[in-house]
Structures are given as C-alpha cells and as structure tokens.
Amino acid sequence: MTRKNFLKSALGATAGVFASGSMAGHAFSPLTLPHPSTGQTPRIRFSVIGLNHGHIYGQVQAVIKGGGELAAFYAKEADLCAEFAKRYPQAKQARSEAEILEDNNIQLILSASIPSERAPLGIRVMEHGKDFMVDKPGITSPEQLKAVRKVQAKTRRIYSIMYSERFENKATVKAGELVKAGAVGRVVQTIGTGPHRINIPSRPEWFFDKKYFGGIICDIASHQFDQFLFFTGSTEAKILSSQTGNIHYPQYPAFEDFGDATVQGNRGSGYIRVDWFTPNGLKTWGDGRLTVLGTDGYVEIRKNIDIAGRNGANHLFLVNGKGTEYIDCNDTELPYGRLLVDDVLHRTETAMTHEHCFLATELALTAQKNAVRLTISE
C-alpha cells in the first residue's frame, strides 16, 4: 500500500488545531440540514483551498466526522480538482480562492497546498475572519512562523497544523491515554522515527527542492517534535544537535533524504530520525515507530505495520511492572475532528494549544536551520 492510497482510504482521520480560550469573535450557530455523507446535522461549513498532497483526504474526513459539511474547494491544478470532485461530488468547485475566502457562510478552511505556500494562505484566511487547518509542515521558515504568530495573535483565529502521525494513528492516541493514566510512570524520553518510501515516479518537481518543503526535518520531523512535546509534557525545549544529508539521490541536489535531531525539554528528552529509505519490499509506505520511555516502563508503537507478522496497523506494546502486553488499538476513537469543530464553534482550544503547535514548528525549523551536513564516503 502506498502512502497516498493509505491516506485516501483512511476514514477515521483526524486533524489538529487550535485556538486561544480567550479568542474574540462570535460562535457560529449549528447548521440545520442533514449532511449527505453521515446523515447527521452538520455543525459547521468548511471548504478546501490547495490539493497538492494526499493528506487533504484525511483532513476532510476528520472534519466531516467531527460534524462539518464540505461546501466548496479550489485548486489551480485541473487534474487534482477532478480527482477531488470525484471523491466529494457534493462540494462545489469554486472559481477562485477569493470566492471561498469571501464566503461568509464558511467558518473553516483546510489546505494541503505546496508547503511553502501554506503559511501565506493561512494568514489570508485568518485576515478574512476564518479558521485554518493545514497539512504539515504548516510553516516552512522562521520568517513565516513570526508572521503567522503575529496575525494569529491579532485575529484570534485558529491556525492548526495537522500532525497526522499522532492525530490519525489510533495506537498513538491509545498510548497517550496509557501514559496519562500512569502506565509507564514519569516519561523520561521519546524516540520517534519516520521512515518513508520515496516512490519517485509519483512525486511532483517541487518535492525534490527544499525551498518548497523546508527540508526533511522541517517537513517529516514536525510529527516527531509534536509527539515529543505531547508525551513529555514539555512546554520549553531546545535543540542539542541535528544533521541532514542527501546520501542516495545526487540527481536531486536540493533534496534531503536523511535527518535526525536530539532535543531537550523541561520535562524530558527526545531523539528523532526521519528518512526516505523505505525499501520496496515493505508492505506499507513506512515502518513508523515511537518509543515512550518512562521511569516504570515503556510503550512501543508500530504505527503502520508489525514486521513480526500481525496484520494491519496500530500495534502497541506495553511493558511495565505488571508484565508485557500487546494491545490492538483499532477500536480506539480518534477525537480530533470532533474537538476541532468544537473549537471552531465555541472559540476554545480543547484539541491543542497554539503554544504547543507553534513550539513543535519552531523546534523543527531550528533543527533544520542548524543542522550539520551529513556525508558518507563511498
């Protein structure tokens, strides 16, 4: 299964977001018409601008499951629009970005545009009085982060970056519940790895130039920084070391295929490694893993596959004083879509704070900027 097909078939996707509890502005009233996909009364209307990554399908499903009605979409690419319209025929194809931004009946806008274009779009969305939920990386430079923080603080709108490796993975959600309940004691460290299959024929040109995606740590490792902050509970952190390299793809000199970082927070430490080396023989796009080490035990998550032979995804192993336990997490609820819609309606931040969202981004950007170049001799 490719990552694209996996994302497009994921019906339980959720998204990450968030707003200050003291946001100004009014709460929207729930809608009254039944949603054609769920049969339930939708609570908000939302639209999409930018379809350049398949993550958009998980983002949309998360909001629909949370009570949203998909009203419209816009993208510059005709082929991407055709594919999206086939999946969501109930949505109107807008003629321009402005048509969506100026629609007063839309409360929330989602985007999976080219990464370097996401923050400028999010700023325009917030300045039009709407909330924004975007695929990772939602911000690709320190200058963009500064501008987003300034506009978000001024408008008090939601700027959400969907860290899908936590929000869309049931084993990771379950791990959060276990850690919160004290199953491993006090968390000391997280080790997060994010390997990916490159699948060159399916990639657009911008994919191979880091000026568009910000670099491998900015891009993929944003997930791991989010998980480090979440599981350790750190509210302050600094990068101790980082490195990036292009080991295997010299034909793409502006690309990076490996990156790692060590981070220290006020409530724990973390190690992160990401790469584009997943072999074709693996039955999924990447053997993503997360280990959460505590004083009284540890949790290990195999997000997408158990190479020992268990079927499917969402595998969790818990080891503590009571023994060793395997937990199948496929029945775990993914609450993010519901929490996002709650936050849009009530101007709260029940899903995740902006402080967390922006700190995870800041750590990724800092590690990327300060990374030592890794070279391996022939």
**Model confidence pLDDT, tens digit, residues 264-303:** 999 999 999 999 999 999 999 999 999 999 999 999 999 9
Cβ(95)–Cβ(125) under 8 Å?
Answer: no
pLDDT digits (tens, 9 = 90+) for 318-338: 999 999 999 999 999 999 999
Measured between alpha carbons, how far is 19 from 166 in angstroms, rounded to an integer? Answer: 19
Output the pLDDT for position 82: 97
Q: 10 Å Cβ neighbour count for 270?
A: 26
H or E segment and range at residue 265:
strand 258-265
**Is the CB of residue 53 less than 8 Å from the CB of residue 111?**
no
Distance CA 154, CA 230 (A): 26
Q: What is the reported pTM?
A: 0.88
Report how far apart, in Å, the C-alpha atoms of 26 and of each of 23, 319, 337 are: 9, 47, 20
The string of pLDDT tens digits covering residues 132-142 is: 999 999 999 99
Q: Which residue has the tokens 């900015």?
A: 218
Distance between CA atoms of residues 42 and 338, nearest Å? 11
Query: Which long-range contacts link 20-25 to residues 24+ away (Cβ below 8 Å)?
Result: 20/156, 20/349, 20/353, 20/354, 21/347, 21/348, 21/349, 22/156, 23/156, 23/157, 23/347, 24/156, 24/347, 25/129, 25/156, 25/157, 25/347
Domains of the chain (ranges; CATH) run 3-163 (3.40.50.720), 169-333+366-373 (3.30.360.10)
User: Residue 17 has what pLDDT?
Assistant: 32
Q: Residues of the chain whose pLDDT is less than 70?
A: 1-40
Which H/E stretch holds residue 40?
none
